[in-house]
Amino acid sequence: MDGAPLRLYVRRPLRQERAHGIRLTVEVPSEIEFVETAVDLVVRQSHHTPVPEKLIEFNLRVALTEALVNAIQYGNNADPEKCVTVCVRESEDEVEVTVTDQGNGFDPACIPDPRTSECLKRPEGRGLFLIQQLVHDLTFNERGNSLCMKLRRA
Amino acid sequence: MTFTVEQADNGVTVVSVDGQLIVGNRNEMKEKVNEALEGGNTKFVFDFGSTGYIDSSGLGALVSVSKKVREKGGDLSLAGMNEDLRMLFELTKLDTLFKIYDSTGEAVEAF
């Protein structure tokens, strides 16, 4: 393969970004094998925030795994030329994690409820639903290629 | 090792998941179950006593293998989940698709 091997690119915040609560920005190559490492990194950085450890260790871990897998597989179509950007921001009473891919976006309203009898026995289609259930607040940008998950102090 | 496969005295295959069942290792789990199925085993218990988390790919893989096991006339049950894991099954209503037991011993004896 030509070029440098794919790797995570971690960028520490600039001073003005720190002033806005940004703790970390990670660029994740569009390869599923990087998901676990990226999630570990973000979870570690999100400890010692106002959000309870249990929510960071379980809810954030699972929700971010889902968001990254969706961004890599569906957003970027696993295109090695594209990456997914994860930005972690902390405020007084919450942690906000934004996951942005380089795809065309999607309409979250078009994703069927995986709990219906038609969908229950399907092996796929639960990722977005789990994110919705595990975080306190979930929003998308207009294009649909970036989601923002918020976890708050209990 | 993420998955350990053992035979209980009554012939039930116990698959223990150490760490997590996620997009990165679900295929390994499917291969383990397929090998056991090809060996004639049709009764499975998944032991999640040492499992930290499961993602939607892991949940989907369990749905897939349970379908395959049931097509062979067997069954698959789940055991040892902590309250977070149990919550995932309840949220997704997958608790209606699987028999869930508190302990692996209880799940094995139920076959």
pLDDT of residue A125: 95
Q: What is the CATH number of the domain that holds B86?
A: 3.30.750.24
Mapped to the 3 state alphabet, what secondary structure does A50-113 carry?
A: CCCHHHHHHHHHHHHHHHHHHHHHHHCCCCCCCEEEEEEEECCCEEEEEEECCCCCCCHHHCCC
- pLDDT, average across residues A56-70: 96
Task: Show the domains of chain A with their CATH numbers.
Answer: 9-152 (3.30.565.10)
What is the count of structural domains for chain B? 1
**Which of A36, A57, A70 best tests the B interface by mutation, with the highest count of B CBs <10 A?**
A36
Q: Are B94 and A120 in contact (CB < 8 Å)?
A: yes
pLDDT at B5 over 60: yes
Work out the minimum CA distance from B108 to partner chain A, whole angstroms: 24
Interchain proximity A36–B53, CB inside 8 Å: no
Q: Is the pLDDT confidence value at B67 over 50?
A: yes
Structural domain boundaries, residue B59: 3-109
Res A18: pLDDT: 80
Return phi, psi of residue B21, to 5°: -120, 105
- Per-residue pLDDT tens digits for A7-50: 888 888 888 888 778 888 999 999 999 999 999 999 998 888 88
